[in-house]
Structure 1
Amino acid sequence: MLAKTFSASVIGIDAYPVEIEVNVTGSSSGGAADSVVSIVGLPDMAVKESRDRVKSAILSSGMIPPKGFTVVNLAPADLRKEGAAFDLGIALGMLAATGAVNPEALSSVAVVGELALDGSVRPVRGALPIAARLAEQSGLAMLLVPPQNAEEAALAGGEKLAVYPVASLTAAVELINRGGALPYRTSLAEYTERNREHEPDFADVKGQKMARRALEIAAAGGHNCLLTGPPGTGKSMLSMRLAGILPPMTMAETLETSRIHSVLGLLSGGRPLLNRRPFRSPHHTISDVGLIGGGRDPKPGEISLAHNGVLFLDELPEFKRNVLEVLRQPLENGWITVSRAAGTCTFPARFILCAAMNPCPCGRGEVELGCTCKIEEKRRYQKRISGPLLDRIDLQLEVRQLSQDELLAAPDGEPSAKIRERVIRARQLQQERLGQRKLYCNAQLSSRDLQEFCRLSAGSQLLLRQAITRFKLSPRAYDRILKVARTIADLAGCVDIRDEHIFEAINYRRKEQ
């Protein structure tokens, strides 16, 4: 007898529908030990091993596996299948082939879940992209998932796909044969209200007015930034608060970002969606594969986990040169393509790069602070970061060390909520200007866009030309100064870029040492 159901396979961060076909032939009069199961359709080892998990789960649930020879085909046959998420679908297909499950009801159901030997259902990775993809497929009435994956699947499936949590194989059989259960329902608003979190606040930062201003500009325009200063000046403290002043994520951004974390198993059962922008801070010993993604079967890296948020690289010169250089393409394009023998995957990687570094090997930077580094040592240290990478960092500024008197006299910082309001207003102006071009912020402006939206007066052009000559800036740096000036004007609510906006933007470029 032939039975079928549906599931999905995750490759990279995308899910692809998989049809599970089960055919039982050559029935014998023996017991369960006489049943032979063959799984075809490019299964990996975890999928091949499911035949043993499935048989044990069926027996532990008080049911009998099909006798004779059973062929399980995972179609399309040329798509590699990985993981244990097909267990529950294979078990239901085998039971449908024996008549224990209604085959007609099963044919319009999608199923994901790993089976334990006792018949219970364990959570799987990638439930969010699976539900989002299956919601687009016509003819599927319901999706069965482990209870721990129910909320993320329901949020992704929306109104198009009814999601039912099943804790065991027996519960799945009862649901398909008898129905009557209500689907799991939730909404993004309910989820966000339940999972509000405290974020680091700029109100905790004393002094450092210029650094706070630079991070506000970075958030308003999506600009990359580099903070240079001695240890203890607050570089990390400031950077950790950058994500908190970014505009709230839209539903599309939430699902896209959560999908990346879902395929890596980073979403817990209680938190199936990211309700705030990600902040990733990898250690400087990370490899290039860990940063951009890869592996035998390509998986997203840190830059994709920071998608729609902030990637913070502390102690920037301590990262390996080859690791930093791989950032150049995603900083320009907002995505990364990883090619391996198993296939090619493209991962989104649109993030704000926020980096911090010491001014010299000892970290003090100034003789007054006890620095003993020679000029050549400082230059070698700073040259660990290539010119092309620095060109892609829009805001580069020094964070100076505050004296004890300055620190004690400094008032509490402005709360993140007030800064975020200004950032949101500036982003709204950019959306009104760029909405039809499918751009999100000023950092994404092309050369043609700069000619249209960043026109300068004669005085501003002269000021910019003088800065390019004096500081030996590249054409890319010229473009980035214009983008930063456009953002400064947006924060001020100005239609045109003025001289003071250009002057401030120039001050955020790293000077020659």
Structure 2
Amino acid sequence: MPVGRTRSVALLGLAGSIVDVEADLSSQLPNLIIIGLPDAALAEARDRVRSAATNAGCPLPNRRLTVNLSPASLPKHGSAFDLGIAIACLAACGGVDPASVGQVVHLGELGLDGRVRPIDGVLPAVLAAARAGHRTVMVPAANAEEAALVPDVRVVGVATLCEAAIWHGGRYDVPEELLGADPLAAADGAAQAETSAETAHLDLADVAGNESAIRALLVAAAGGHHLFLEGPPGAGKTMLAARLPGLLPDLDTDAALEVASLRSLAGRAPKGLNRRPPFEAPHHTASAAAMVGGGSRIIRPGAAPRASHGVLFLDEAPEFPASVLDVLRQPLESGSISIHRANAVATFPARFQLVLAANPCPCGQHGVSDAECSCAPSVRRRYLGRISGPLLDRVDLRLWVPRITAAELRMAGERRTTTTAEARAAVLAARGAAAERLTGTPWRVNADMPGPWIRGAGGLHPGGRATAALDRALERGSVTMRGYDRVIKVAWTLSDLEGAARPDAGHVGEALFLRKAMA
């Protein structure tokens, strides 16, 4: 009897590796043995597979079945291999067509009753299969819509193991209790609404007054810059941050697939390919693992990777533990997060825009007219000092957001305000100018440009009188070398918004002001 062979996918972060699933039938005592470095959950598949096959109406023979997962040196975890193991065993037993089985990648968990249950991470697994040259995948019916997001791949959704066996040429009858099985009944609420949908109805025109804050928001969106908003409670910091995703351009196909893959790994199965940038706003009680990702058995992405190509908003930033805030320092520079475990390293993308919001002190009244602050100066310094200097140095725009007065509110009602659609058009024009200037480089927005390249091969340093004020600030030590480069990047964004060929002294001055405009 030939060895039954099919394929599955082992995921490590967003990266997937093709795994050959081989099953051999021998005439020894009945048993099902799985070898090839499985974890505990995968080792338990021997009991799930045999019970599922019996209850699905395609029982395995009472003989010894040895299943090998190759390459044996690759760690494998989870229950997504169940369907591949069961189909390989049926192929070894002659119950299905081995040629058909060998051409399909199988993903899915089996229930003891023979149903094929949905799994997390189907989208990145199917993407890995497609990149490896495979064009047909069989997945749980509940995951079929998600898998179909990958172009040029034939997706076969099955609700039961018997249905999968019949598709491969098996002559079986589906048990009555499985007839009409609801393929979504086992989804366990895996499909969740996209986070970005929560901000889809928010319009910039809702913001009354605070013209300087709106200007900073527009600059942040146009150049991909990080933003820090400081101000008293009720000044509109959260309102402004929630409207930033609406100013960003739609994601291209590759970015949208990457965002959807991260959500799939996190257990948020996407419904369709959402091209709007994501918006993540974790609570200040979040741990470092919740922020960047982690897990002892399956490494899942945290809030920062899930915000890739979008916005990560940390409201009440000083309330976050300093250790949690500081884990963002490296991703802000590299655009990726690597999570190390004893036997594996998972890497997630983390190229997001960071928006921090903070009160000026614990009571929130410092700097507010006609309000008495009860916090001592040392308490205020200690409160804002929870946001470390190295992290703040990576933030391009820092703005004080005052409370709006009654007079400003009346004036705002009398004049026309900028809508999200109008602001997005300006952002698209500015980003288009930056992309044209950066043609031939790996960067597309001003915030991505490395400082040495700006001052060297890129030839984008304004120089001369344009940077005289910035040069003096560097000499006095009021900006770091990193801050110097970031001011120049913001100056280029300001010139792009105005359609200028190069930044002038006014653009550099405004960029320097936006970096230091705190109370």
- Alignment of 1:121 with 2:116, yes or no, is yes
Which residues of 2 match residues 88-487 of structure 1 at below 5 A? Answer: 88-138=83-133, 140-156=134-150, 158-159=151-152, 161-177=153-169, 198-268=200-270, 271-297=271-297, 298-366=299-367, 368-411=370-413, 413-451=417-455, 452-456=458-462, 458-468=464-474, 472-487=478-493
Distance 2:404 2:422 in 1: 24
Contact 2:141 2:157 in 1 (8 A): yes
Distance 1:295 1:279 in 2: 23
Other-structure match for 1:58:
53
Aligned to 1:436, the other structure's residue is in SS state coil
Contact 2:199 2:242 in 1 (8 A): no
Distance 1:127 1:249 in 2: 21
Q: CA deviation at 1:263?
A: 1.6
**What is the TM-score when the length of structure 2 is the normalising length?**
0.90
Q: CA deviation at 1:396?
A: 0.2
Aligned to 1:265, the other structure's residue is in SS state coil
- Alignment of 1:503 with 2:509, yes or no, is yes
Aligned to 2:65, the other structure's residue is in SS state strand
Contact 2:95 2:170 in 1 (8 A): no
* Code of the aligned partner of 1:163: V
Contact 2:469 2:509 in 1 (8 A): yes
Q: CA offsets, 1:137-194, max 9 Å, x none? A: 34x45211111211222222x12x3111111112111211189xxxxxxxxxxxx9xx
Other-structure match for 2:186:
none
Aligned to 1:429, the other structure's residue is in SS state helix
Q: CA deviation at 1:485?
A: 0.5
Q: CA offsets, 1:8-29, max 9 Å, x none? A: 11111211111110001016xx
Structure 1 residues 313 and 238 mapped into 2: Cα distance closer, same or farther (>3 Å)?
same
Aligned to 2:37, the other structure's residue is in SS state coil
* Aligned pair partner of 2:77 in 82, 85, 105: 82
> Is 366-375 or 109-118 further displaced after alignment?
366-375
Q: CA offsets, 1:347-391, max 9 Å, x none? A: 211010000001112101125222232323222222222221111
* Code of the aligned partner of 2:127: A
Q: CA deviation at 1:48?
A: 1.4
Distance 2:459 2:361 in 1: 39
Contact 2:136 2:154 in 1 (8 A): yes
> Is 104-113 or 441-450 further displaced after alignment?
441-450
Other-structure match for 1:492:
498
Q: CA offsets, 1:392-425, max 9 Å, x none? A: 1000010001113322441364211111111111
Structure 1 residues 295 and 141 mapped into 2: Cα distance closer, same or farther (>3 Å)?
closer
Contact 2:399 2:518 in 1 (8 A): no
Q: CA deviation at 1:199?
A: 3.3
Distance 1:272 1:23 in 2: 39
Structure 1 residues 208 and 197 mapped into 2: Cα distance closer, same or farther (>3 Å)?
closer
> Is 376-385 or 426-435 further displaced after alignment?
376-385
What root-mean-square deviation, in Å, do the aligned CA atoms of Structure 1 and Structure 2 show?
2.1
* Code of the aligned partner of 2:122: A
> Is 288-297 or 244-253 further displaced after alignment?
288-297
* Code of the aligned partner of 1:164: V
Q: CA deviation at 1:272?
A: 4.8
Contact 1:111 1:144 in 2 (8 A): yes
Structure 1 residues 122 and 238 mapped into 2: Cα distance closer, same or farther (>3 Å)?
same
Q: CA offsets, 1:234-260, max 9 Å, x none? A: 100100111111110000101112111
Contact 1:149 1:272 in 2 (8 A): no
Distance 1:63 1:370 in 2: 76
Q: CA offsets, 1:291-312, max 9 Å, x none? A: 1223324332221111111110
Contact 2:252 2:275 in 1 (8 A): no
Q: CA deviation at 1:115?
A: 1.2
Contact 2:106 2:137 in 1 (8 A): yes
Aligned to 1:508, the other structure's residue is in SS state helix
**What is the TM-score when the length of structure 1 is the normalising length?**
0.91
Distance 2:411 2:210 in 1: 13
Q: CA deviation at 1:512?
A: 8.0
* Code of the aligned partner of 1:282: P
Q: CA offsets, 1:313-358, max 9 Å, x none? A: 1111111112111211111111122212131122211010000001
Distance 1:78 1:95 in 2: 25
Contact 1:66 1:95 in 2 (8 A): no
* Code of the aligned partner of 1:394: D
Distance 2:337 2:125 in 1: 22
Distance 2:99 2:199 in 1: 45
Q: CA deviation at 1:470?
A: 6.2
After TM superposition, what 4+ stretches of structure 1 lie above 6 angstroms from structure 2?
A: none
Structure 1 residues 302 and 95 mapped into 2: Cα distance closer, same or farther (>3 Å)?
same
Contact 2:249 2:276 in 1 (8 A): no
Aligned to 1:330, the other structure's residue is in SS state helix
Structure 1 residues 408 and 512 mapped into 2: Cα distance closer, same or farther (>3 Å)?
closer
* Aligned pair partner of 1:69 in 64, 68, 73: 64
Gaps of at least 5 residues in structure 2 are 172-193
